[in-house]
Amino acid sequence: MSIRELAQHLNISIGTVSRALNGRSDVNPETRKRVFEAAAKFGYVPNQSGRSLRQGTTNAIGFMIEMNSETSLHGDTFFMSVFAGVQSVFKAHHLDLVVLLCPFDDDPYEHLRRVVSRRFVDGLFISATQRHDQRIDYLIEREIPFMALGRSLSGGSHPWIDLDFEGVATAAVDRLVARGHRRIGLVKPASELNLGYVFAEAYHAALVRHGIRPDPDLVVRADQTSEEGGYGAMGRLLALDERPSAVMLVNEIMAIGAYRRLHDAGLQAGRDVAVIGFRQSPQARFLSPTLTCFDVSLFDLGCRLATGLLATMPAYRDLYPVGLVQDIWPMTLVPGESDPPLLV
């Protein structure tokens, strides 16, 4: 059922049908009514390809996420909540959110170029930003509206929202120091994710502020951002001559492996070694003893991501006068049993 057939049934021109359906003002209310009724009757919905071709817009926004080993193996509980928030904003504008999975053996940059060049979407969210991220330079050059989940050194004035890793790292160090710890280990994530750097720098600064000399040996990098990675990293920390009394983990999945590594060494998290995880997650929620970590309101984050993106798109800019969004998203401490005061 095309617009042509619909127009023939109504004995009017296709131009009028199109104007009626698109809410143009120069159409008789009576005929508009007839058009809508006929469209409903025949189940007519405009062909998106034709419409896109004509007006150069697809009414779809992509959210690109990478299926790295972490995501594909453990599944991902993070994005679903964010998507819900994004959609709650898009709903009002008849924008569709489509999730674009970058296969784990594909180059994210190449994948992005393909999607953009094919003009599949009007705008994009990208996540897992690297410290230097080709994708951002590319999107800016091509003038594609986008919003980055995560900071980066690349690009300049593009919109982004990043979780408050700095605040989290600082709060974690402060809390551990207040509880008597002075040898505090840090496990960084495996990849070149920007968050690893932000986290490490804040950790370093907090230690210095407390008059503690940072020990490079206490900062280890996980082989992979996974349970196994946490297991291995904790193992290396335990092997130090002078092992830490507390360990901070930049990924909560790794906490599971860390717990297990401690257990295998005859130690126990929260008794022999204090542990602080990062983001509260369903998977780490049932660890025993409960993990001290940080909570983030993912639905609200999704809403803010959406409005921040729309604010950069000419067609929606006036509806969202929020300016350039470059937010640090706050997280709140969820105290657990895994980091009690140090017994002397």
Partner DNA sequence: AAAGATGCCGTAAACGTTTACGATGACACA
Partner DNA sequence: TGTGTCATCGTAAACGTTTACGGCATCTTT
Residues that bind a second copy (CB under 8 A): 43-50, 52-53, 58, 60, 67, 71-81, 83-84, 87-88, 91, 96-101, 103-104, 113-115, 117-120, 256, 282-288, 299
The number of beta carbons lying within 10 Å of the beta carbon of residue 107 is 11
The residue among 57 and 170 lying less far from a second copy, judged by its C-beta, is: 57
Asked if 28 is part of the footprint of DNA (rule: CB under 7 A), the reply reads yes
Query: CB of residue 337 vs a second copy: minimum separation in angstroms?
Result: 14
Q: How far is the CB of 11 from DNA (least distance, A)?
A: 7
Task: Give the Cα separation of 248 and 243 in Å (integer).
Answer: 13
Q: What is the 3-state secondary structure (H, E, C) of 159-188?
A: CEEEECHHHHHHHHHHHHHHCCCCCEEEEE
In the complex with DNA, which residue's Cβ is closer, 2 or 72? 2
List the one residue from 36, 42, 53, 75 that touches DNA (CB under 7 A).
Answer: 53
**Which of a second copy, DNA, none does residue 4 bind (CB under 5 to 8 Å by kind)?**
DNA
Task: Burial-class residue 333 by CB neighbours within 10 Å (0-12, 13-18, 19+).
Answer: middle
Residues 130 and 208: their CA atoms lie apart, in Å, by 27
CB under 5 to 8 A by kind: which of a second copy, DNA, none does 83 bind?
Answer: a second copy
C-alpha separations of 252 from 4, 138, 189, 234 in Å: 56, 32, 10, 13
Longest dimension (CA), the chain: 90
CB atoms within 10 A of CB 22: 10
**What residues contact 240, with CB distance under 8 A and at least 6 apart?**
217, 218
- State the nearest-atom distance from the C-beta of 273 to DNA, in Å: 59
Tell the smallest beta-carbon distance from residue 77 to a second copy (Å).
Answer: 3
Between 30 and 143, name the residue whose CB sits nearer to a second copy: 143
Q: Which is nearer to a second copy, 103 or 341 (CB)?
A: 103
Those residues with Cβ within 8 angstroms of residue 3's Cβ, 6 or more apart along the chain or in another chain: 14, 17, 18, 44, 46
**Cis (ω within 30 of 0) for the bond into 145?**
no
- Closest to a second copy by CB, 88 vs 268, is 88
How many residues bind DNA (CB under 7 A)? The answer is 29
Q: Which is nearer to DNA, 13 or 72 (CB)?
A: 13
CB of 113 to DNA, least distance (A): 14
Part of the chain binding DNA (CB under 7 A), chosen from 13-21, 69-77, 91-99, 229-237 = 13-21
Rule CB under 7 A: choose which of 9, 51, 236, 285 binds DNA: 51
